[in-house]
């Protein structure tokens, strides 16, 4: 089975062809980061405009790199939501047009299901499974007892981890997106400021990062008023330590309580070196198989959408020409 995936939920215009839900045949990502950088974040109107300009080229390139004709495809999978409404619409409309023109079934994929299924491009999923989804818009622990079954057992009550990374980076005058810069500074640091760990109620798998973010902001503000110079790497390291410690501890506790056979990480923040190291060490010690996709599959891409879309297609879950972008789409089980 060959599936064309299309992703335009945020600031990457992406198309990819995946074989049997597991093998990348081609994977094209046009990033808009340079255009959004000077605004310190993604500007929805600019994102939409870029998607319009790029989408046809990106789809054509995905076919060309795969050396395939549209007739050789079995389905088109597209990110239906969540995301920026204007951005989603461009991908959904391109997918509808492509599916219609080539008489192909259309599959609408939840962006986070895509992030989770990125792992399947590397190794087969073993159930029951725990997925740590940690990205620019989400931080959640998802329990999966089988393919297409998603139970969110914990999630952030305020900011997503990536959002907190980006905001802290901004106060440190680091370029957007800030996550990789904080990661780099934290690694090069010879010290770390002690910021709070937010655990919430005993036994909760939820997260909260806005308190930590405020603690960092207050610390910077107070230091400035006292005329102190704070080494930015100490702030970066302190912030990262707090995020990594809490996320690792909660993921580990959930994996044990739910007796999962595999833990996978997904989303842009899963690219974080500190987090990768900490999670790998924790799960190795417990003897629980743990996987993180390579960096290029952690951040937004269309191969992950094709991977998830293939399983949906195999289950007979297809959409139709009435499909629309769903900015507030909720992750629910398939079928």
Instruction: Work out how close the CB of 317 gets to Mg ion at its nearest, in angstroms, rounded to a whole number.
Output: 25
Residue linked to tokens 């995905």 = 62
Identify what 36 binds: ligand ATP, Fe ion, Mg ion, none; CB under 5 to 8 Å per kind.
none
Regarding 80 and contact with Mg ion (CB under 5 A), the answer is no
DSSP 8-class letter at 273: H
Please state the length of the chain. Answer: 335
Regarding 233 and contact with Fe ion (CB under 5 A), the answer is no
Regarding 10 and contact with Mg ion (CB under 5 A), the answer is yes
Question: Which tokens in the block code for residue 16?
Answer: 């990819």
Flag whether 136 is marked binding: yes
CA dist 329 and 324 (Å) reads 11
Q: Which of 300, 301, 310, 312 binds Mg ion (CB under 5 A)?
A: 300
CA dist 76 and 58 (Å) reads 14
Beta pairing partners, 4: 17, 76
Contact between 243 and 209 under an 8 Å Cβ cutoff? The reply is: yes
Beta pairing partners, 79: 109
Q: Which is nearer to ligand ATP, 38 or 226 (CB)?
A: 38
Identify what 166 binds: Mg ion, ligand ATP, Fe ion, none; CB under 5 to 8 Å per kind.
ligand ATP
Instruction: Work out how close the CB of 212 gets to ligand ATP at its nearest, in angstroms, rounded to a whole number.
Output: 14
Which residues of this protein are in contact with ligand ATP, per CB under 6 A?
9-10, 83, 111, 115, 135-138, 162, 165-166, 177-180, 183, 267-269, 271-272, 299-300
DSSP reduced 3-state for 177: coil
Regarding 300 and contact with Fe ion (CB under 5 A), the answer is yes
Q: Which is nearer to ligand ATP, 104 or 118 (CB)?
A: 118
**In the chain, beta strands by DSSP E:** 2-7, 12-19, 23-31, 75-81, 106-110, 129-134, 139-144, 151-155, 262-266, 290-291
Contact residues toward Mg ion (CB under 5 A) are: 10, 300
Annotated binding-site residue numbers for substrate: 133-137, 166, 179, 183, 272
């Amino acid at each position: 089975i060959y599936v064309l995936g299309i992703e335009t939920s945020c600031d990457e215009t992406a198309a990819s062809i995946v074989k049997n839900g597991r093998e990348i045949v081609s994977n094209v990502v046009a990033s808009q980061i340079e255009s959004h950088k000077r605004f310190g974040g993604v500007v929805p109107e600019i994102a939409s405009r870029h998607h319009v300009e790029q989408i046809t080229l990106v789809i054509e390139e995905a076919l060309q790199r795969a050396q395939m004709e549209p007739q050789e495809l079995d389905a088109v999978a597209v990110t239906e939501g969540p995301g920026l409404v204007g951005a989603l619409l461009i991908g959904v409309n391109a997918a509808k047009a492509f599916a219609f023109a080539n008489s192909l079934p259309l599959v609408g994929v939840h962006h986070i299901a895509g992030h989770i299924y990125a792992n399947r491009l590397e190794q087969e999923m073993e159930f029951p499974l725990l997925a740590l989804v940690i990205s620019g818009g989400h931080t959640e622990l998802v329990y999966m007892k089988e393919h297409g079954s998603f139970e969110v057992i914990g999630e952030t009550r305020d900011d997503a981890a990536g959002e907190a990374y980006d905001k802290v980076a901004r106060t440190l005058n680091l370029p957007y997106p800030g996550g990789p810069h904080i990661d780099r500074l934290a690694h090069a640091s010879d010290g770390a400021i002690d910021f709070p760990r937010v655990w919430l109620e005993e036994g909760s798998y939820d997260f909260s990062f806005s308190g930590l973010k405020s603690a960092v902001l207050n610390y910077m503000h107070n230091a400035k008023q006292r005329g102190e110079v704070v080494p930015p790497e100490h702030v970066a390291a302190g912030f990262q330590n707090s995020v990594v410690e809490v996320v690792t501890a909660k993921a580990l506790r959930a994996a044990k309580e739910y007796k999962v056979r595999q833990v996978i990480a997904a989303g842009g923040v899963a690219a974080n070196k500190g987090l990768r190291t900490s999670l790998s060490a924790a799960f190795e010690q417990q003897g629980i198989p743990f996987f993180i996709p390579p960096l290029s599959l952690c951040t937004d891409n269309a191969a992950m959408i094709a991977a998830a879309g293939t399983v949906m297609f195999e289950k007979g879950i297809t959409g139709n020409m009435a499909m629309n972008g769903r900015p507030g789409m909720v992750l629910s089980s398939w079928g």
